[in-house]
């Protein structure tokens, strides 16, 4: 039996974080949630997730700052799924900024997130981590 994959949901809106956590749990993932970057850092250290579902804008930091920390402290440890109400161009810029940080964005979903799209993105991220492309 394989262990359940771990997901950390980071969103400053408790309602959104709870919805995404519930989605992930319904899909069979072991999930934790944080509503601040500080809590997300603490949970990441403790929980060691396979995927971080990350909101772009939070009051105590933004997604790029969190990615900088993640790349510095835990390079390439987790896949990143960004969820945002911002246009894709903003997230594309975030992706470019995060690439040299070893904490690149793996996927992007626009809010409101639909369960089917969320599940597909999570499954693709897990598959990519388990079957990395040959170099």
- Locate 10 and state its tokens: 């980071």
Q: How many CB atoms lie within 10 A of CB 19?
A: 18
- Locate 50 and state its tokens: 């396979």
User: Cα separation of 28 and 131, whole Å?
Assistant: 20
In this prediction the pTM is 0.86
> Which carries the bigger pLDDT value, residue 131 or residue 46?
46
- The confidence score (pLDDT) of residue 89 equals 63
User: Cα separation of 69 and 110, whole Å?
Assistant: 23
- The beta strand positions in the chain, using DSSP E, are 6-10, 30-34, 51-55, 79-84, 105-110
**What does pLDDT average to over the chain?**
84
């Amino acid at each position: 039996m394989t262990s359940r994959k771990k997901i950390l949901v980071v969103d400053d809106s408790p309602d959104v974080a709870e919805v995404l956590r519930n989605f992930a749990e319904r899909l069979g993932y072991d999930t934790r949630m944080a509503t601040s970057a500080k809590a997300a850092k603490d949970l990441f250290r403790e929980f060691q997730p396979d995927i971080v579902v990350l909101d772009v804008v939070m009051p105590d930091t933004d997604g790029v700052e969190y990615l900088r920390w993640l790349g510095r402290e835990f390079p390439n440890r987790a896949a990143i799924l960004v969820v945002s109400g911002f246009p894709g161009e903003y997230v594309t810029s975030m992706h470019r900024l995060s690439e040299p940080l070893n904490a690149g964005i793996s996927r992007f979903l626009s809010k409101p997130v639909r369960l089917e799209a969320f599940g597909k993105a999570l499954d693709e991220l897990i598959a990519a981590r388990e079957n990395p492309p040959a170099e």
